[in-house]
């Protein structure tokens, strides 16, 4: 099998992502040309002496659309990374932060902190929720008699249902009027109204959690034939698993606190990337991240453009695209469930 | 001071039961040691315990090194293990699977396998006669081909101690003989080989010495002639057997008496 080299893949996907992001910024009610986007970025980074566009257009590009497009790219990359890592660690082709209940747990934690009046600490609440949900899912999987993909999914569904019910109850109990609608739209997965500090927060979380994960790619390869085989190749299985699961819980928490529970991206993007690159994680992880970023940029653009002026929660689009692919993966891996 | 693997007083407890019970085993460098015994005798667990893959008490030494306390990465640089079955959903080619054997030698900063890694992988695939399959996806290989790729992966680790759990189970008789001959040549070239085998005639033909396990303990150990006796067959396997001699070289051949 001949496969494209890592450098070729990464460079072309980076180019695709850059073009996607700039084009995504031009989408919307105000007509904006790609060149204007570059000029505004250049001016804000101090590369151009004066603003090339009017103040209003500048605000639309720099304050309204760019942070959102950047956040979409980061959320897509982060979800794809979390999915790929969880699939490798649990040897479960169906693993993904959404299906294993992490996203719902994170939502519960975030909503809990929000309604308690600590909206600044929402990412922390989401992280705690994601970590608790992951622990609970793994525990239930053990109680069901050990890890198989279908048991993990069943455990994830039950944890998801529990967390979702608790979240709904919290909202019912304390939210009113507008905040009710806002929270509901965010719960379905939405990047509406993302501002720079939030975009930079997810970017920081992705870099912080993503770099060590990318470097552990080779150890993840060792898991291909199970824990014993990995240990026989010198991998500290227990420590690596805790580190990486902790890292994915942290990252999922931050992603959910910004974008809500966006499903299926973490499931389908790694599978698409694997078809192109195979399963070596040194190649797979960066490719999945870049692919996830572009995917999310376009789905989020569709979410805010399709029914203008109304906005569709992007989680609905990813679920519409993702659920059928989930079914295909399920059929393909029938024998392991 | 004998070079090679020396196991003493090794025990593994699982659920309050001793799966491996105070075992003494030696597998000297330069020879093939066969591990035999009925299902559930503790062969697989013993192998895992030797490599520190399950919690165990006792002592496992290889040459000067204490395998139970050695950092696992260093241990993986001179020991290799081939499990009984190796399945994966990962989309890896045969060559990529063999390259997994180079993980203990790579730093986390290396982006791609080194020339040395690639050379070792090619040599290992050539040794098991699988060079032509290098680019095939692992899942598309037959059971026997997968087994040979796993052995190539182990050889790519350049092991001085090679442990194999039933490496011939999916092979036809030609491939079985080729595999055991390969293991014997590896041993003569300076490795200690410990191999669990179900086929006792194969074990008698290829192993320099045998260790017979029964209920977590060593029932007999020594050259095949000393271990394969009718009395031990009755005691350990619960079957009646007659030991014949190969007309060519006089090695023991086992003929089972039918029950009833």
Contacts of B159 in chain A (CB under 8 A): none
Nearest to B76 among A215, A224, A232 (CB): A232
Q: Is residue A16 part of a domain?
A: no
Q: Which residues contact A326 (CB under 8 A, 6 or more apart)?
A: A94, A99, A264, A267, A268
- Percent of chain B predicted with pLDDT > 70: 99
Spatial CA neighbour of A84 closest among B91, B133, B16, B36: B91
Residues of chain B numbered 74-113 and touching chain A (CB < 8 Å):
74-77, 79-81, 83, 86-93, 96-97, 100-101, 103-104, 106, 108-112
Nearest CA in chain B to A236: B72
Q: What is the pLDDT of residues A53-69, one digit of tens each?
A: 888 888 899 999 999 99
Name which of B91, B132, B157 to mutate to probe chain A: the one with the most chain A Cβ atoms within 10 A of its Cβ.
B91
Question: Quick one: pLDDT at residue B1?
Answer: 41
A1: which chain B residues are within 8 Å (Cβ-Cβ)? Answer: 93, 135-137
* Structural domain span for residue A295: 67-336
Of the partner residues B53, B74, B108, the one whose CB lies closest to the CB of residue A232:
B53
Banded pLDDT at B112 (limits 50, 70, 90): confident
Kind of pairing, strands B192-196 and B161-165? parallel
Q: Which residues of A touch B109 (CB under 8 A)?
A: 215
3-class SS letters over chain A: CCCCCHHHHHHHHHHHHHHHHHHHHHCCCCCCCHHHHHHHHHHHCCCCCCCCCCHHHHHHHHHHHHHHHHHHHHHHHHHHHHHHHHHHHCCCCCCCCCCCCHHHHHHHHHHHHHHCCCHHHHHHHHHHHHHHHHHHHHHHHHHCCCCCHHHHHHHHHHHHHHHHHHHHHHHHHHCCHHHHHHHHHHHCCCCCCCCHHHHHHHHHHHHHHHHHHHHCHHHHHHHHHCHHHHHHCCCCHHHHHHHHHHHHHHHHHHHHHHHCCCCCHHHHHHHHHHHHHCCCHHHHHHHHHHHHHHHHHHHHHHHHHCCCCCCCCHHHHHHHHHHHHHHHHHHHCHHHC
Q: What is the rounded distance in angstroms from the CA atom of residue A152 to the CA atom of residue A248? A: 16
CATH of B1-78+159-228, one of 3.40.47.10, 3.40.50.300, 3.40.50.970, 3.30.70.420: 3.40.50.300
Q: Is residue A305 in some structural domain? A: yes
Q: Indicate if ipTM > 0.90.
A: yes
Residue A335: its pLDDT value, please? 53
**pLDDT at position B155 over 80:** yes
For the purposes of burial, counting CB atoms within 10 Å of the CB of B84, is it exposed (0-12), middle (13-18) or buried (19 or more)? middle
Per-domain residue ranges of chain B: 1-78+159-228, 88-157
How sure is the predictor about A183, in pLDDT bands with cuts at 50, 70 and 90?
Answer: confident
Q: Is A242 on the interface with B (CB under 8 A)?
A: no
Tell whether A274 is within 8 A of chain B (Cβ): yes
Low-confidence winner among A178-192, A250-264, B95-109, B186-200 (lowest mean pLDDT)? A178-192
Q: What percent of chain A has pLDDT over 90?
A: 45
Question: Which residues of chain A neighbour B111 with C-beta distances below 8 Å?
Answer: 6, 282
Asked whether the predicted pLDDT for residue B228 surpasses 90, the reply is: yes
Q: CB-based contact (8 Å) between A257 and chain B?
A: no
Instruction: Say if A215 falls within a structural domain.
Output: yes
The whole-number average pLDDT for the span A88-94 is 84
pLDDT tens profile A241-258: 888 888 888 899 999 989
Number of domains in chain A: 1
Per-residue confidence band for A336, with pLDDT thresholds at 50, 70 and 90: very low
Please name the residues between 152 and 171 in chain B that touch chain A, using a CB distance below 8 Å: 157
Q: What is the mean pLDDT of chain A?
A: 88
Do the chains contact at A282 and B111, CB–CB below 8 Å?
yes
Examine residue B133 and say whether the peptide bond preceding it is cis (omega within 30 degrees of 0): no
B235-244 confidence digits (pLDDT tens): 999 999 999 9
Residue B103: which of A218, A278, A333 has the nearest Cβ? A218
Whether A333 contacts chain B with CB within 8 A: yes
């Amino acid at each position: 099998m001949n496969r494209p080299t890592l450098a070729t893949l990464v460079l072309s996907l980076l180019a695709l992502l850059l073009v996607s992001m700039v084009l995504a910024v031009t989408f919307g009610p105000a007509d904006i040309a790609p060149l204007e986007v570059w000029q505004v970025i250049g001016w804000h980074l101090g590369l151009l002496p004066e603003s090339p566009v009017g103040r209003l257009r500048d605000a639309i590009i720099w304050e309204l659309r760019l942070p959102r497009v950047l956040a979409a790219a980061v959320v897509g990359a982060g979800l794809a990374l979390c999915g790929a890592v969880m699939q490798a660690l649990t040897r479960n082709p169906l693993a993904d932060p959404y299906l294993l209940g992490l996203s719902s747990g994170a939502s519960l934690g975030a909503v809990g902190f929000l309604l308690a009046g600590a909206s600044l600490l929402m990412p922390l609440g989401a992280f705690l929720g994601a970590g608790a949900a992951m622990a609970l899912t793994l525990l239930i999987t053990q109680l069901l008699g050990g890890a198989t993909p279908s048991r993990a999914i069943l455990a994830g569904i039950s944890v998801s249902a529990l967390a979702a019910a608790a979240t709904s109850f919290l909202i019912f109990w304390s939210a009113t009027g507008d905040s009710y609608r806002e929270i509901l739209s965010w719960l379905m997965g939405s990047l509406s109204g993302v501002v720079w500090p939030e975009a930079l927060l997810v970017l920081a979380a992705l870099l912080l959690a993503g770099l060590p994960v990318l470097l552990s790619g080779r150890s993840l390869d060792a898991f291909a034939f199970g824990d014993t085989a990995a240990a026989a190749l010198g991998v500290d299985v227990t420590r690596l698993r805790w580190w990486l699961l902790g890292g994915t819980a942290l990252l999922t928490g931050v992603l959910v606190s910004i974008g809500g529970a966006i499903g299926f991206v973490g499931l389908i993007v790694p599978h698409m990337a694997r078809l192109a690159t195979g399963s070596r994680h040194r190649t797979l992880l960066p490719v999945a991240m870049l692919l996830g970023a572009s995917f999310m940029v376009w789905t989020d653009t569709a979410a805010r453009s399709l029914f203008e002026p109304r906005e569709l929660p992007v989680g609905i689009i990813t679920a519409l695209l993702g659920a059928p692919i989930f079914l295909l993966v399920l059929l393909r891996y029938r024998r392991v469930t | 001071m004998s070079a090679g693997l020396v196991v003493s007083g090794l025990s593994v407890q699982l659920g309050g039961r001793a799966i491996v019970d105070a075992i003494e085993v030696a597998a000297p460098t330069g020879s093939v040691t066969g591990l035999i015994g009925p299902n559930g005798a503790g062969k697989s667990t013993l192998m895992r315990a030797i490599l520190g893959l399950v919690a165990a008490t006792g002592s496992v030494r290889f040459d000067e090194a204490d395998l139970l306390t050695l950092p696992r990465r260093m241990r993986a640089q001179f020991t290799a293990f081939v499990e009984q079955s190796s399945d994966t959903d990962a989309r890896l080619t045969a060559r990529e699977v063999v390259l997994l054997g180079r993980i203990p030698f790579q730093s986390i900063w290396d982006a791609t396998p080194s020339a040395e890694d690639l050379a070792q992988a090619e040599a290992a695939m050539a040794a098991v006669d699988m060079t032509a399959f290098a680019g095939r996806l692992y899942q598309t290989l037959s059971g026997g081909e997968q087994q040979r790729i796993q052995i190539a992966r182990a050889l790519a680790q350049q092991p001085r101690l090679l442990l194999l759990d039933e490496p011939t189970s999916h092979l036809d008789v030609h491939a079985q003989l080729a595999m055991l001959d390969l293991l014997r040549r590896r041993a003569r070239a300076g490795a200690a080989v410990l191999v669990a085998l179900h086929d006792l005639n194969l074990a008698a033909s290829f192993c320099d010495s045998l260790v017979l396990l029964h209920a977590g303990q060593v029932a007999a150990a020594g050259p095949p002639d000393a271990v394969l006796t009718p009395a031990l067959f009755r005691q350990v396997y619960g079957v009646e057997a007659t030991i014949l001699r190969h007309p060519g070289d006089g090695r023991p051949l086992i003929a089972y008496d039918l029950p009833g």
